[in-house]
């Protein structure tokens, strides 16, 4: 890992990296294990990604941990995932404190079991003063749900005469989203070889770079994270301009 870190330009880091953690179940099946074994093994990859991102100097890391669509999975798997969430938050809070990492969560958190909500709230409160990096878990989250909720809030404010139609701008929409206090991600990583967005941060990733890897999430270690950043730094971010304009 040290050699890969040396290849990274610390002055050109993405401020925000978003990750679609995919492939836990397939990795478990490949090893002849139940799907829950894959989810449990993926916890180490969460720890690796968080630690190496903070070490590099990345300020925001957002992990797609559980989508609204995931509620449709077999009840036994959903129950095991919720139990693992409680267990992981409890065990990793100490690590986040040690690494000065602040925890946040986005999504329809009211759908989580009460025990999960409680543990999550406790960890968020305990780490709230940490400032090295913000780790955001997208839980019971989908981008269409988020945008729909934002439209409802904006509509209420317009109907309540606290907001004028003329005041609705892209910046105002940003402020009504779950990610209001987080900059848009410059880089989105997806593991397991799949190449789709899966209803994740659709508004926020308008100008994100994408990095796809065939590695399953439990295989995505610190070296793999470094490779994603190196690949990101090899790209030219033009935002609609030409290469020549960027050189001026």
Catalytic residue IDs: 22, 70
- The answer to whether 64 and 18 are in contact (CB under 8 A) is yes
User: 219 is written with which tokens?
Assistant: 């295989």
Picking from 106, 115, 113, the residue whose alpha carbon sits closest to that of residue 136 is 106
Picking from 31, 212, 62, the residue whose alpha carbon sits closest to that of residue 139 is 62
Beta bridge partners of 136: 62, 104
Picking from 181, 209, 229, the residue whose alpha carbon sits closest to that of residue 57 is 229
Reported as type and span, the H/E element at residue 30 is helix 24-30
């Amino acid at each position: 890992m040290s050699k890969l870190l040396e290849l990274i330009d610390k002055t050109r880091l993405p401020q925000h990296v978003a990750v679609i953690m995919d492939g836990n179940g397939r990795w478990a099946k490949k090893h002849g294990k139940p799907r829950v074994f894959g989810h449990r093994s993926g916890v180490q990859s969460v720890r690796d990604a968080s630690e190496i991102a903070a070490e590099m100097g990345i300020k925001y890391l957002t992990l797609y941990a559980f989508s609204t669509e995931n509620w449709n999975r077999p009840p036994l798997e959903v129950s095991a995932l919720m139990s693992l969430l409680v267990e992981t938050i409890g065990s990793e809070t100490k690590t986040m404190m040690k690494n000065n990492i602040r925890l946040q969560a986005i999504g329809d958190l009211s759908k989580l079991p009460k025990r999960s909500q409680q543990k999550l709230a406790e960890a968020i409160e305990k780490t709230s003063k940490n400032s090295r990096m913000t780790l955001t878990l997208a839980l019971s989250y989908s981008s269409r749900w988020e945008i729909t909720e934002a439209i409802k809030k904006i509509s209420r404010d317009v109907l309540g005469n606290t907001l004028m139609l003329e005041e609705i701008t892209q910046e105002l929409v940003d402020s009504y989203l779950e990610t209001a206090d987080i900059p848009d991600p410059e880089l989105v990583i997806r593991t397991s070889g799949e190449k789709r967005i899966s209803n994740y941060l659709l508004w926020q990733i308008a100008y994100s770079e994408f990095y796809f890897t065939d590695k399953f999430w439990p295989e995505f270690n610190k070296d793999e994270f470094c490779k994603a950043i190196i690949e990101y730094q090899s790209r030219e971010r033009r935002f609609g301009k030409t290469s020549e304009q960027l050189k001026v």
